Amino acid sequence: MTDLIERQLHVPADPAELWKALTDPELLTLWLADEAELELCVGGEARFVTGERTRTGWVEEVSPPASDGGSGRLVFWWGEDGEPASRVELELTATERGTRLRVVETRPLEVLDLVGVPLGGHGARYGPALIAA
């Protein structure tokens, strides 16, 4: 069984501004975690620390919005030691009043292992092999 949480909200900022708030480690510390590291490339590492809780993972997809206000997408996996990883999708879509942000988090992800997609671990790097999977 897969658990899914999905939320959509409107942010009164253009997609480029919102993208920066979702991807800049310094800005992530203002709303997501006390410490944040996010390497913005496929297979890049992700690490988020909040108090005593540390989540680590890797980046699956990075598609920044175009400078003309187009859509953008960031997908990463994260999890704590000993727990199933979660897949987090962030989709940005420009609107007349700003940006619609869609957030989807799914877990557990054992079903992906059945189709040959490797599940990330600490410090794992997945490059072109992941995209070909």
Distance CA(68)–CA(48), nearest Å, equals 31
Distance CA(9)–CA(92), nearest Å, equals 10
Distance CA(54)–CA(69), nearest Å, equals 33
Cβ neighbour number for residue 68 with a 10 Å cutoff: 9
Average pLDDT, the chain: 82
pTM: 0.77
**6 phi and psi, to 5 degrees?**
-135, 135
CATH number, span 3-132: 3.30.530.20
pLDDT in tens, 45-66: 999 999 999 999 999 999 999 8
Distance CA(7)–CA(57), nearest Å, equals 22
- Asked if 88 and 103 touch (Cβ cutoff 8 Å), the reply is yes
Query: Three-state SS across 35-104?
Result: EEEECCCCCCEEEEEECCEEEEEEEEEEECCCCCCCCEEEEEEEECCCCCCEEEEEEEEEECCEEEEEEE
For the chain, the structural domain boundaries read: 3-132
Quick one: tokens of 122? 């600490």
pLDDT in tens, 70-83: 799 999 999 998 88
Task: Label residue 109 by pLDDT band (50, 70, 90).
Answer: low
9/111: higher pLDDT: 9
Return the DSSP state at 117: P
Asked whether residue 126 carries a pLDDT value surpassing 50, the answer given is no
